[in-house]
Amino acid sequence: MLKLLTARYVGNFQIRLEFSDATCGDFDGHTLLQRIGPLLEPLRDEAYFQRCFIDAGALCWPNGLELSPARLRQNIRLIETA
């Protein structure tokens, strides 16, 4: 089962992610924030967006929003690692 191992905010609503399958990439929060919903409203504040954390292998925020690692993996810009 795919899990998120690390999540590091890198600026401008971008989060660098590393997955259990050794994939690394950047998640663009701008894409997420194009959607509308009560759980997304707090994330429009960049300071709040930076408060992301990992819980049980998923990307989460304090308001209860949780993004699955499989969905994140489909929507990242891959980074080559040497």
The residues near 72 (Cβ < 8 Å, ≥ 6 apart) are 4, 17, 19, 27, 59
- pLDDT tens-digit readout, 6-53: 999 999 999 999 999 999 999 999 999 999 999 999 999 999 999 999
User: Hey, what domains does the chain have and what are their CATH numbers?
Assistant: 4-78 (3.30.2020.10)
Whole-model pTM: value is 0.91
Integer Cα distance of 53 and 62 in angstroms: 8
- pLDDT tens-digit readout, 66-78: 999 999 998 898 8
Integer Cα distance of 46 and 11 in angstroms: 9
43 close to 29: Cβ distance less than 8 angstroms: yes
71's enclosing H/E stretch is helix 69-74
